[in-house]
Structure 1
Amino acid sequence: MVRVLVTRPEPGASRTARRLRDMGFQPILLPLTETVAVDAGAVPDDAVAVAVTSANALRHAPKALIAALAALPCHAVGRRTAQAAREAGFVSVSEGSGDAEALADALAGSLSGKTIAYLCGRVRFATFEERLEAAAVHVRAVETYDTLALDYPDADIIDRLAGQPVEMVLLYSAKAAAAVRTLIERPELHDLFEKTRFLALSGRIAAALGDIFSERIHIAKKPDEEALLALLRQRR
Protein backbone atom coordinates (compact mmCIF):
# COMPACT_ATOMS: atom_id res chain seq x y z
CA MET A 1 0.00 0.00 0.00
CA VAL A 2 1.35 3.42 -1.00
CA ARG A 3 2.27 5.54 2.03
CA VAL A 4 1.21 9.19 1.77
CA LEU A 5 2.42 11.86 4.17
CA VAL A 6 -0.25 14.46 5.03
CA THR A 7 1.31 17.75 6.13
CA ARG A 8 -1.74 20.02 6.42
CA PRO A 9 -3.03 21.19 9.83
CA GLU A 10 -5.97 19.73 11.70
CA PRO A 11 -8.89 19.34 11.32
CA GLY A 12 -8.17 19.09 7.58
CA ALA A 13 -5.43 16.49 8.08
CA SER A 14 -7.78 13.89 9.55
CA ARG A 15 -10.40 14.62 6.89
CA THR A 16 -7.81 14.06 4.15
CA ALA A 17 -6.61 10.88 5.87
CA ARG A 18 -10.12 9.42 5.70
CA ARG A 19 -10.32 10.17 1.99
CA LEU A 20 -6.93 8.56 1.39
CA ARG A 21 -7.97 5.37 3.19
CA ASP A 22 -11.11 5.20 1.08
CA MET A 23 -8.89 5.52 -2.01
CA GLY A 24 -6.68 2.62 -0.90
CA PHE A 25 -3.69 4.63 0.34
CA GLN A 26 -1.99 4.51 3.73
CA PRO A 27 -2.06 8.03 5.21
CA ILE A 28 0.60 9.18 7.67
CA LEU A 29 -0.35 12.31 9.58
CA LEU A 30 2.42 14.83 10.20
CA PRO A 31 0.86 18.31 10.41
CA LEU A 32 3.68 20.82 9.93
CA THR A 33 1.56 23.87 10.76
CA GLU A 34 -1.31 24.71 13.06
CA THR A 35 -3.86 27.51 12.89
CA VAL A 36 -4.71 29.56 15.98
CA ALA A 37 -7.28 32.30 16.52
CA VAL A 38 -6.16 35.91 16.87
CA ASP A 39 -7.95 39.11 17.83
CA ALA A 40 -9.88 40.00 14.69
CA GLY A 41 -10.14 43.70 15.50
CA ALA A 42 -12.84 46.05 14.26
CA VAL A 43 -15.33 45.27 11.52
CA PRO A 44 -15.23 47.73 8.58
CA ASP A 45 -18.55 49.62 8.67
CA ASP A 46 -18.46 50.58 4.98
CA ALA A 47 -18.10 47.06 3.54
CA VAL A 48 -20.65 46.03 0.90
CA ALA A 49 -19.48 42.42 0.63
CA VAL A 50 -17.29 39.80 2.27
CA ALA A 51 -14.54 37.71 0.63
CA VAL A 52 -13.06 34.52 2.07
CA THR A 53 -10.23 32.44 0.61
CA SER A 54 -9.81 29.99 3.49
CA ALA A 55 -12.28 28.05 5.59
CA ASN A 56 -9.92 28.59 8.54
CA ALA A 57 -10.80 32.29 8.49
CA LEU A 58 -14.41 31.33 9.20
CA ARG A 59 -13.58 28.57 11.68
CA HIS A 60 -11.57 30.96 13.85
CA ALA A 61 -13.78 34.04 13.44
CA PRO A 62 -15.59 35.25 16.58
CA LYS A 63 -19.36 34.83 16.52
CA ALA A 64 -19.82 38.57 16.97
CA LEU A 65 -17.76 39.24 13.83
CA ILE A 66 -19.80 36.80 11.75
CA ALA A 67 -23.04 38.26 13.10
CA ALA A 68 -21.95 41.75 12.07
CA LEU A 69 -21.19 40.63 8.50
CA ALA A 70 -23.66 37.79 7.90
CA ALA A 71 -26.21 39.94 6.03
CA LEU A 72 -23.64 40.92 3.38
CA PRO A 73 -23.06 38.80 0.27
CA CYS A 74 -20.16 36.43 0.91
CA HIS A 75 -17.85 35.46 -1.94
CA ALA A 76 -16.02 32.20 -1.13
CA VAL A 77 -13.03 30.93 -3.07
CA GLY A 78 -14.36 27.38 -3.48
CA ARG A 79 -16.78 24.68 -2.43
CA ARG A 80 -15.46 23.89 1.05
CA THR A 81 -15.04 27.54 1.98
CA ALA A 82 -18.56 28.27 0.73
CA GLN A 83 -19.89 25.43 2.86
CA ALA A 84 -18.07 26.82 5.91
CA ALA A 85 -19.54 30.27 5.22
CA ARG A 86 -23.09 28.89 5.14
CA GLU A 87 -22.51 26.90 8.31
CA ALA A 88 -21.12 30.03 10.00
CA GLY A 89 -24.34 31.91 9.26
CA PHE A 90 -23.88 33.83 6.02
CA VAL A 91 -27.18 34.09 4.18
CA SER A 92 -26.00 34.79 0.62
CA VAL A 93 -22.90 32.81 -0.40
CA SER A 94 -21.38 32.53 -3.88
CA GLU A 95 -18.91 29.76 -4.67
CA GLY A 96 -15.78 30.28 -6.76
CA SER A 97 -13.70 27.79 -8.72
CA GLY A 98 -11.13 27.31 -5.95
CA ASP A 99 -8.62 29.83 -7.34
CA ALA A 100 -8.08 33.00 -5.28
CA GLU A 101 -6.77 34.99 -8.24
CA ALA A 102 -9.83 34.05 -10.30
CA LEU A 103 -12.05 35.17 -7.42
CA ALA A 104 -10.28 38.52 -7.30
CA ASP A 105 -10.75 39.01 -11.04
CA ALA A 106 -14.44 38.12 -10.75
CA LEU A 107 -15.00 40.66 -7.97
CA ALA A 108 -12.96 43.42 -9.58
CA GLY A 109 -15.52 44.27 -12.24
CA SER A 110 -18.55 44.65 -10.00
CA LEU A 111 -17.01 46.15 -6.86
CA SER A 112 -14.73 48.89 -8.21
CA GLY A 113 -14.78 51.88 -5.90
CA LYS A 114 -16.39 49.89 -3.10
CA THR A 115 -15.11 48.30 0.11
CA ILE A 116 -15.05 44.62 0.94
CA ALA A 117 -14.21 42.86 4.20
CA TYR A 118 -11.64 40.15 3.58
CA LEU A 119 -11.68 37.44 6.27
CA CYS A 120 -8.19 35.97 6.22
CA GLY A 121 -5.13 34.79 8.10
CA ARG A 122 -1.99 36.70 8.98
CA VAL A 123 -0.03 34.42 6.64
CA ARG A 124 -1.52 34.70 3.15
CA PHE A 125 -0.73 35.16 -0.53
CA ALA A 126 -0.70 38.87 -1.42
CA THR A 127 -1.94 38.57 -5.02
CA PHE A 128 -5.64 38.41 -4.08
CA GLU A 129 -5.54 41.80 -2.36
CA GLU A 130 -3.17 43.32 -4.91
CA ARG A 131 -5.44 42.47 -7.83
CA LEU A 132 -8.47 43.96 -6.14
CA GLU A 133 -6.65 47.11 -5.05
CA ALA A 134 -5.38 47.54 -8.62
CA ALA A 135 -9.03 47.49 -9.75
CA ALA A 136 -9.92 50.21 -7.20
CA VAL A 137 -11.64 47.78 -4.84
CA HIS A 138 -10.90 48.78 -1.25
CA VAL A 139 -9.92 45.65 0.67
CA ARG A 140 -10.16 45.72 4.46
CA ALA A 141 -8.32 42.66 5.77
CA VAL A 142 -9.88 41.19 8.91
CA GLU A 143 -7.34 38.69 10.23
CA THR A 144 -8.96 35.97 12.32
CA TYR A 145 -6.14 33.41 12.58
CA ASP A 146 -2.42 32.86 12.34
CA THR A 147 -0.47 29.90 10.94
CA LEU A 148 2.35 28.62 13.12
CA ALA A 149 5.06 26.15 12.20
CA LEU A 150 5.29 22.90 14.14
CA ASP A 151 8.58 21.18 14.83
CA TYR A 152 9.26 17.56 15.71
CA PRO A 153 12.41 15.82 16.98
CA ASP A 154 13.97 13.39 14.53
CA ALA A 155 12.99 10.45 16.74
CA ASP A 156 9.30 11.44 16.68
CA ILE A 157 9.25 11.65 12.88
CA ILE A 158 11.07 8.34 12.47
CA ASP A 159 8.54 6.78 14.84
CA ARG A 160 5.57 8.19 12.89
CA LEU A 161 7.07 6.88 9.67
CA ALA A 162 7.85 3.52 11.31
CA GLY A 163 11.38 3.99 10.01
CA GLN A 164 10.17 3.37 6.46
CA PRO A 165 10.54 5.64 3.39
CA VAL A 166 7.59 7.75 2.28
CA GLU A 167 6.39 7.35 -1.31
CA MET A 168 4.26 10.52 -1.55
CA VAL A 169 3.90 13.84 0.28
CA LEU A 170 0.87 16.13 -0.09
CA LEU A 171 1.69 19.84 0.17
CA TYR A 172 -1.12 22.30 0.84
CA SER A 173 0.85 25.44 1.72
CA ALA A 174 4.16 27.14 1.03
CA LYS A 175 4.92 27.15 4.74
CA ALA A 176 4.50 23.38 4.93
CA ALA A 177 6.61 22.92 1.80
CA ALA A 178 9.44 24.94 3.35
CA ALA A 179 9.13 22.84 6.52
CA VAL A 180 9.35 19.62 4.49
CA ARG A 181 12.53 20.87 2.84
CA THR A 182 14.02 21.51 6.28
CA LEU A 183 13.11 18.00 7.40
CA ILE A 184 14.70 16.41 4.36
CA GLU A 185 17.93 18.29 5.01
CA ARG A 186 18.29 16.70 8.44
CA PRO A 187 20.92 13.93 8.23
CA GLU A 188 18.85 11.44 10.26
CA LEU A 189 15.80 11.87 8.00
CA HIS A 190 17.32 12.27 4.55
CA ASP A 191 17.12 8.58 3.56
CA LEU A 192 13.40 8.43 4.37
CA PHE A 193 12.71 10.98 1.60
CA GLU A 194 15.34 9.94 -0.93
CA LYS A 195 12.80 8.72 -3.51
CA THR A 196 9.70 10.58 -2.34
CA ARG A 197 7.46 12.31 -4.85
CA PHE A 198 5.91 15.61 -3.79
CA LEU A 199 2.42 16.65 -4.86
CA ALA A 200 1.73 20.37 -4.49
CA LEU A 201 -1.52 22.31 -4.62
CA SER A 202 0.05 25.07 -6.75
CA GLY A 203 3.23 26.23 -8.45
CA ARG A 204 3.86 28.74 -5.66
CA ILE A 205 3.79 25.94 -3.10
CA ALA A 206 6.06 23.77 -5.22
CA ALA A 207 8.55 26.65 -5.49
CA ALA A 208 8.83 26.77 -1.70
CA LEU A 209 10.17 23.21 -1.73
CA GLY A 210 13.09 24.30 -3.89
CA ASP A 211 14.59 23.44 -7.27
CA ILE A 212 16.64 20.60 -5.84
CA PHE A 213 13.52 18.39 -5.92
CA SER A 214 12.14 19.66 -9.22
CA GLU A 215 12.20 16.26 -10.94
CA ARG A 216 10.06 14.77 -8.16
CA ILE A 217 7.54 17.60 -7.78
CA HIS A 218 4.10 17.39 -9.39
CA ILE A 219 1.55 20.22 -9.38
CA ALA A 220 -2.23 19.85 -9.31
CA LYS A 221 -4.14 21.20 -12.31
CA LYS A 222 -6.28 23.32 -10.00
CA PRO A 223 -5.48 24.64 -6.49
CA ASP A 224 -7.98 22.43 -4.67
CA GLU A 225 -7.93 19.06 -2.95
CA GLU A 226 -9.98 17.31 -5.62
CA ALA A 227 -7.31 18.09 -8.21
CA LEU A 228 -4.53 17.16 -5.80
CA LEU A 229 -6.06 13.75 -5.08
CA ALA A 230 -6.69 13.22 -8.78
CA LEU A 231 -2.97 13.84 -9.32
CA LEU A 232 -2.22 11.31 -6.59
CA ARG A 233 -4.27 8.68 -8.40
CA GLN A 234 -2.35 9.36 -11.61
CA ARG A 235 1.04 9.10 -9.90
CA ARG A 236 0.18 5.97 -7.93
Structure 2
Amino acid sequence: MRPRGVIVTRPEPGLSETMAAVADAGWLPLASPALVVQRYTLRLPQKLPAAILLTSGQAVSAVVVAAQQAKALDMPVYAVGDRTAQRARDAGFTCVKSADGDARALVSLLQTHQQPEQGSLLLCSGARQGVELAAWCRQAGFKVMRRVVYAAKPIQKITEQTRTAIQAAKVAVVLFFSAESAASWLAALPEAEQKRLAAQARAVVISGRVADVLRNAGWHDVHIAAHVSAAAVMEVLGLYHV
Protein backbone atom coordinates (compact mmCIF):
# COMPACT_ATOMS: atom_id res chain seq x y z
CA MET A 1 0.00 0.00 0.00
CA ARG A 2 1.35 3.41 -0.96
CA PRO A 3 2.10 5.80 1.94
CA ARG A 4 -0.65 8.37 2.60
CA GLY A 5 0.99 10.51 5.26
CA VAL A 6 1.43 14.24 4.66
CA ILE A 7 3.50 16.12 7.22
CA VAL A 8 2.32 19.71 7.75
CA THR A 9 5.10 21.88 9.20
CA ARG A 10 3.00 25.06 9.39
CA PRO A 11 2.32 26.52 12.87
CA GLU A 12 -1.00 28.02 13.93
CA PRO A 13 -2.80 29.98 12.68
CA GLY A 14 -2.96 27.98 9.51
CA LEU A 15 -2.00 24.53 10.77
CA SER A 16 -5.57 23.41 11.51
CA GLU A 17 -7.02 24.61 8.21
CA THR A 18 -4.18 23.00 6.24
CA MET A 19 -4.63 19.74 8.15
CA ALA A 20 -8.33 19.79 7.28
CA ALA A 21 -7.59 20.50 3.59
CA VAL A 22 -5.08 17.63 3.48
CA ALA A 23 -7.64 15.26 5.00
CA ASP A 24 -10.35 16.44 2.59
CA ALA A 25 -8.00 15.61 -0.29
CA GLY A 26 -7.83 12.02 0.92
CA TRP A 27 -4.44 12.07 2.63
CA LEU A 28 -3.49 11.34 6.24
CA PRO A 29 -2.33 14.64 7.78
CA LEU A 30 0.44 14.65 10.39
CA ALA A 31 0.85 17.83 12.44
CA SER A 32 4.49 18.74 12.96
CA PRO A 33 4.81 22.54 13.28
CA ALA A 34 8.36 23.78 12.75
CA LEU A 35 8.05 26.87 14.91
CA VAL A 36 6.69 27.87 18.30
CA VAL A 37 5.09 31.30 18.10
CA GLN A 38 5.33 33.78 20.97
CA ARG A 39 2.95 36.73 20.68
CA TYR A 40 3.44 40.23 22.07
CA THR A 41 0.98 42.92 23.10
CA LEU A 42 0.52 45.85 20.73
CA ARG A 43 -0.66 49.31 21.69
CA LEU A 44 -1.65 51.74 18.99
CA PRO A 45 -0.19 55.25 19.29
CA GLN A 46 -2.48 58.01 20.50
CA LYS A 47 -2.46 59.48 17.01
CA LEU A 48 -3.72 56.54 14.98
CA PRO A 49 -1.78 55.54 11.87
CA ALA A 50 -3.27 56.09 8.43
CA ALA A 51 -3.17 52.35 7.75
CA ILE A 52 -1.87 49.05 9.07
CA LEU A 53 0.39 46.74 7.07
CA LEU A 54 0.40 43.00 7.78
CA THR A 55 3.08 40.61 6.52
CA SER A 56 1.65 37.45 8.10
CA GLY A 57 -1.50 36.01 9.60
CA GLN A 58 0.50 35.55 12.80
CA ALA A 59 0.25 39.31 13.35
CA VAL A 60 -3.54 39.54 13.17
CA SER A 61 -4.41 38.56 16.76
CA ALA A 62 -2.28 41.28 18.37
CA VAL A 63 -3.38 43.92 15.88
CA VAL A 64 -7.10 43.26 16.23
CA VAL A 65 -6.97 43.49 20.04
CA ALA A 66 -5.22 46.85 19.81
CA ALA A 67 -7.67 48.09 17.17
CA GLN A 68 -10.66 46.99 19.25
CA GLN A 69 -9.33 48.89 22.24
CA ALA A 70 -8.88 51.99 20.09
CA LYS A 71 -12.27 51.48 18.37
CA ALA A 72 -10.41 51.52 15.06
CA LEU A 73 -11.56 48.41 13.21
CA ASP A 74 -12.44 50.64 10.25
CA MET A 75 -8.78 51.56 9.78
CA PRO A 76 -7.42 50.55 6.34
CA VAL A 77 -5.47 47.29 6.46
CA TYR A 78 -3.08 46.15 3.72
CA ALA A 79 -1.99 42.51 3.78
CA VAL A 80 0.76 40.90 1.75
CA GLY A 81 -1.30 37.75 1.11
CA ASP A 82 -4.92 36.70 0.64
CA ARG A 83 -5.07 34.42 3.69
CA THR A 84 -3.75 37.15 5.97
CA ALA A 85 -6.29 39.54 4.46
CA GLN A 86 -9.10 37.06 5.10
CA ARG A 87 -8.00 36.55 8.70
CA ALA A 88 -8.08 40.30 9.20
CA ARG A 89 -11.63 40.46 7.80
CA ASP A 90 -12.72 37.52 9.94
CA ALA A 91 -11.27 39.29 12.99
CA GLY A 92 -13.47 42.32 12.35
CA PHE A 93 -11.50 44.75 10.17
CA THR A 94 -13.84 46.30 7.63
CA CYS A 95 -11.43 47.81 5.08
CA VAL A 96 -8.87 45.21 4.00
CA LYS A 97 -6.89 44.92 0.77
CA SER A 98 -4.53 42.14 -0.33
CA ALA A 99 -1.39 42.28 -2.49
CA ASP A 100 -1.85 38.63 -3.51
CA GLY A 101 1.31 37.39 -1.80
CA ASP A 102 3.77 39.95 -3.18
CA ALA A 103 5.44 42.49 -0.88
CA ARG A 104 6.50 44.66 -3.83
CA ALA A 105 2.91 44.68 -5.03
CA LEU A 106 1.86 45.86 -1.57
CA VAL A 107 3.89 49.04 -2.07
CA SER A 108 2.15 49.64 -5.41
CA LEU A 109 -1.21 49.01 -3.72
CA LEU A 110 -0.37 51.63 -1.10
CA GLN A 111 0.63 54.15 -3.76
CA THR A 112 -2.75 53.63 -5.43
CA HIS A 113 -4.91 53.97 -2.32
CA GLN A 114 -2.89 56.00 0.22
CA GLN A 115 -1.05 59.30 0.18
CA PRO A 116 2.02 59.90 2.38
CA GLU A 117 0.51 63.11 3.74
CA GLN A 118 -2.42 61.11 5.19
CA GLY A 119 -0.16 59.94 7.99
CA SER A 120 2.23 57.22 9.01
CA LEU A 121 1.82 53.51 8.31
CA LEU A 122 2.03 50.90 11.06
CA LEU A 123 3.84 47.76 9.88
CA CYS A 124 3.21 44.78 12.17
CA SER A 125 5.45 41.79 11.65
CA GLY A 126 7.45 39.05 13.29
CA ALA A 127 10.92 39.45 14.71
CA ARG A 128 13.49 39.94 11.93
CA GLN A 129 10.70 40.30 9.38
CA GLY A 130 9.23 43.25 7.49
CA VAL A 131 12.46 45.28 7.42
CA GLU A 132 12.75 45.18 3.63
CA LEU A 133 9.07 46.04 3.15
CA ALA A 134 9.44 49.02 5.51
CA ALA A 135 12.43 50.24 3.47
CA TRP A 136 10.49 49.96 0.20
CA CYS A 137 7.58 51.92 1.67
CA ARG A 138 9.93 54.66 2.86
CA GLN A 139 11.52 54.83 -0.57
CA ALA A 140 8.00 55.41 -1.94
CA GLY A 141 7.65 58.42 0.37
CA PHE A 142 5.70 56.90 3.28
CA LYS A 143 6.57 57.25 6.94
CA VAL A 144 6.58 53.77 8.52
CA MET A 145 6.49 52.64 12.13
CA ARG A 146 7.47 48.96 12.43
CA ARG A 147 6.32 46.95 15.44
CA VAL A 148 7.24 43.35 16.25
CA VAL A 149 4.07 41.58 17.44
CA TYR A 150 5.32 38.00 17.48
CA ALA A 151 8.47 35.90 17.41
CA ALA A 152 8.71 32.45 15.85
CA LYS A 153 11.21 30.23 17.65
CA PRO A 154 12.52 26.94 16.26
CA ILE A 155 11.23 23.72 17.76
CA GLN A 156 13.80 21.60 19.55
CA LYS A 157 12.28 18.18 18.91
CA ILE A 158 10.13 16.50 16.27
CA THR A 159 7.02 14.76 17.64
CA GLU A 160 7.19 11.01 18.23
CA GLN A 161 4.15 10.47 15.98
CA THR A 162 6.00 12.11 13.08
CA ARG A 163 9.22 10.22 13.69
CA THR A 164 7.35 6.91 13.91
CA ALA A 165 5.65 7.62 10.57
CA ILE A 166 9.03 8.39 8.97
CA GLN A 167 10.63 5.25 10.38
CA ALA A 168 7.70 3.15 9.11
CA ALA A 169 7.94 4.73 5.61
CA LYS A 170 4.37 6.05 5.87
CA VAL A 171 5.14 9.59 4.71
CA ALA A 172 4.48 10.53 1.07
CA VAL A 173 4.74 14.33 1.19
CA VAL A 174 6.06 17.07 3.48
CA LEU A 175 4.62 20.59 3.19
CA PHE A 176 6.92 23.55 3.93
CA PHE A 177 5.69 27.16 4.12
CA SER A 178 8.82 29.26 4.75
CA ALA A 179 12.59 28.98 4.49
CA GLU A 180 12.96 29.68 8.22
CA SER A 181 10.52 26.97 9.23
CA ALA A 182 12.04 24.45 6.80
CA ALA A 183 15.53 25.02 8.22
CA SER A 184 14.20 24.78 11.79
CA TRP A 185 12.25 21.61 11.15
CA LEU A 186 15.15 19.84 9.45
CA ALA A 187 17.54 20.89 12.22
CA ALA A 188 15.26 19.23 14.80
CA LEU A 189 15.10 15.94 12.87
CA PRO A 190 17.92 13.43 13.49
CA GLU A 191 20.25 13.12 10.51
CA ALA A 192 19.44 9.45 9.84
CA GLU A 193 15.72 10.23 9.67
CA GLN A 194 16.39 13.28 7.49
CA LYS A 195 18.11 11.04 4.93
CA ARG A 196 15.37 8.43 5.13
CA LEU A 197 12.64 11.03 4.67
CA ALA A 198 14.41 12.75 1.76
CA ALA A 199 14.67 9.38 0.01
CA GLN A 200 11.06 8.29 0.57
CA ALA A 201 8.99 11.49 0.35
CA ARG A 202 8.58 14.50 -1.91
CA ALA A 203 8.56 18.02 -0.55
CA VAL A 204 5.99 20.61 -1.63
CA VAL A 205 7.18 24.13 -0.84
CA ILE A 206 5.78 27.63 -1.02
CA SER A 207 8.74 29.31 -2.78
CA GLY A 208 12.13 28.88 -4.40
CA ARG A 209 13.88 30.04 -1.22
CA VAL A 210 12.35 27.11 0.65
CA ALA A 211 13.37 24.75 -2.14
CA ASP A 212 16.97 25.94 -1.82
CA VAL A 213 16.99 25.05 1.89
CA LEU A 214 15.78 21.53 1.16
CA ARG A 215 18.07 20.90 -1.79
CA ASN A 216 21.06 22.03 0.27
CA ALA A 217 19.97 19.44 2.85
CA GLY A 218 19.99 16.67 0.24
CA TRP A 219 16.39 16.61 -0.99
CA HIS A 220 15.89 15.96 -4.70
CA ASP A 221 12.12 15.53 -5.10
CA VAL A 222 11.09 19.13 -4.40
CA HIS A 223 8.06 20.80 -6.00
CA ILE A 224 7.50 24.57 -5.82
CA ALA A 225 4.03 26.14 -5.67
CA ALA A 226 3.07 28.46 -8.52
CA HIS A 227 2.36 31.31 -6.10
CA VAL A 228 3.49 32.24 -2.60
CA SER A 229 0.33 31.08 -0.85
CA ALA A 230 -0.92 28.13 1.16
CA ALA A 231 -3.63 27.58 -1.45
CA ALA A 232 -0.98 27.18 -4.15
CA VAL A 233 0.83 24.61 -1.99
CA MET A 234 -2.41 22.64 -1.72
CA GLU A 235 -2.88 22.85 -5.49
CA VAL A 236 0.46 21.09 -5.97
CA LEU A 237 -0.52 18.41 -3.46
CA GLY A 238 -3.75 17.93 -5.41
CA LEU A 239 -1.76 16.90 -8.48
CA TYR A 240 -0.65 13.70 -6.76
CA HIS A 241 -2.85 10.68 -6.31
CA VAL A 242 -3.38 9.13 -2.90
1:141 maps to 146
SS at match of 2:109: helix
What letter matches 2:174 in structure 1?
A: V
SS at match of 2:200: coil
Establish whether residue 234 from structure 1 lines up as the match of residue 236 from structure 2.
no
Name the CA shift for 1:125/1:202 in 2 (closer, same or farther; >3 Å).
Answer: farther
Establish whether residue 111 from structure 1 lines up as the match of residue 112 from structure 2.
no
Aligned-residue CA RMSD in angstroms?
2.7
SS at match of 2:90: helix
SS at match of 2:192: coil
1:29 maps to 31
> Does the aligned pair in 1 maintain the 2:13–2:58 contact within 8 Å?
no
> Does the aligned pair in 2 maintain the 1:66–1:88 contact within 8 Å?
no
Name the CA shift for 1:29/1:159 in 2 (closer, same or farther; >3 Å).
Answer: same
**Structure 1 residue ranges without an equivalent (≥5):** none
Name the CA shift for 1:107/1:139 in 2 (closer, same or farther; >3 Å).
Answer: same
> Does the aligned pair in 2 maintain the 1:181–1:210 contact within 8 Å?
no
Q: Which moved more, 1:135-144 or 1:53-62?
A: 53-62
SS at match of 1:205: helix
Q: How many residues align?
A: 236
- The percent identity for this pair of structures is 27
Q: TM-score, normalised by structure 1?
A: 0.85
**Structure 2 residue ranges without an equivalent (≥5):** none
Equivalent residue for 1:200, pick from 199, 205, 209: 205
1:80 maps to 83
> Does the aligned pair in 2 maintain the 1:6–1:169 contact within 8 Å?
yes
Residues 1-236 of structure 1: pairs in structure 2 closer than 5 A = 2-40=4-42, 43=45, 45=47, 47-61=49-63, 63-68=65-70, 69-108=72-111, 110-112=114-116, 114-152=119-157, 157-159=162-164, 161=166, 163-183=168-188, 186-213=191-218, 215-236=220-241
**Aligned counterparts of 1:147 and 1:4: Cα–Cα separation in 2:** 23
Q: TM-score, normalised by structure 2?
A: 0.83
**Aligned counterparts of 2:43 and 2:91: Cα–Cα separation in 1:** 18
> Does the aligned pair in 2 maintain the 1:118–1:139 contact within 8 Å?
yes
Give CA-to-partner distance per residue, 1:48-105, whole Å, 9 cap, x none.
1111121211123462344434232111233322222223332322233132332123
- How far 1:151 moved relative to its partner? 1.9
- How far 1:174 moved relative to its partner? 1.6
- How far 1:221 moved relative to its partner? 0.9
- How far 1:16 moved relative to its partner? 0.8
> Does the aligned pair in 2 maintain the 1:154–1:189 contact within 8 Å?
no
- How far 1:171 moved relative to its partner? 0.7
Q: Which moved more, 1:91-100 or 1:6-15?
A: 91-100
> Does the aligned pair in 2 maintain the 1:67–1:89 contact within 8 Å?
no
- How far 1:185 moved relative to its partner? 5.8
**Aligned counterparts of 2:130 and 2:205: Cα–Cα separation in 1:** 16
Name the CA shift for 1:176/1:18 in 2 (closer, same or farther; >3 Å).
Answer: same
SS at match of 1:4: strand
> Does the aligned pair in 1 maintain the 2:8–2:19 contact within 8 Å?
yes
- How far 1:178 moved relative to its partner? 0.4
> Does the aligned pair in 1 maintain the 2:179–2:210 contact within 8 Å?
yes
**Aligned counterparts of 1:214 and 1:77: Cα–Cα separation in 2:** 29
**Aligned counterparts of 2:196 and 2:145: Cα–Cα separation in 1:** 46
**Aligned counterparts of 1:83 and 1:153: Cα–Cα separation in 2:** 30
**Aligned counterparts of 2:165 and 2:45: Cα–Cα separation in 1:** 43
